[in-house]
Amino acid sequence: MRIMLADDHEVVRRGLRALLQAKPSWEICGEAATGREAVEKAKALKPDVVVLDITMPELNGLEAARRILRASPRTQVLILTMHDSDEVVHEVLEAGARGYVLKSDAGRDLVAAVEALGEGRPFFTPRVAELVLSGYLHGGGEPANRTMPRSRLTSRERELLQLLAEGKSNKEAATALSISVKTVETHRANIMRKLNLHSIGELVYYAVRNRIISV
């Protein structure tokens, strides 16, 4: 099985590699430190499983997962994160990931999770499985009190939202996305309108609260 690791902390990737390389038939075929790098490497390497952190610079793990699965539908995505709220679980499943492991459970569950995804089976750590059951089965398919206006944003708008929240200027964001400054300004106005935000401070707060960026 060919596995790719994507996390912005080298020490985390090193620990994951040590856990997964213990299986003789498994190969770590690539590593990425940003969401954008994860997408590009997944397109090139076509791994069987990508172990992906949610909070990464340049492109968050949820958007990276969507793009990886569009480019390589046979690849299975396993989200590895510190976050276990029902909103995050919903977004992970909506993005197409079939596995969800908390970083605190990685030592116990990571190998089993990768093995399950490699065999085409979903895998959730117990805490996440509880959230899935309570939020979806008992809630008629939607988690209770779900308010996720970000789902109204386009893929490009979600990408720009993260760049702006990370402190990029309009010009820097335009360069990163290979679009014009005028197009960035249009997307930025649409983001602010759709999310009912009125300042860059509110945008940053929204990004932190929704775990698009970390502080």
- Domain segments of the chain: what residues? 2-137, 149-209
| pLDDT tens digits, 174-201 | 998 899 999 999 999 999 988 888 888 7
- Whether this model's pTM surpasses 0.85: no
In this structure, whether the domain defined by 2-137 belongs to CATH 3.30.1490.270 is answered with no
How many angstroms separate the CA atoms of 122 and 106, rounded? 16
| pLDDT tens digits, 6-56 | 999 999 999 999 999 888 899 999 999 999 999 999 999 999 999 999 888
How many angstroms separate the CA atoms of 163 and 172, rounded? 9
Mean pLDDT over the full length of the chain: 84
In this structure, whether the domain defined by 149-209 belongs to CATH 3.40.50.300 is answered with no
Question: Strand runs (DSSP E) across the chain, as ranges?
Answer: 2-6, 27-32, 49-53, 76-81, 99-102, 123-124
How many angstroms separate the CA atoms of 77 and 99, rounded? 7
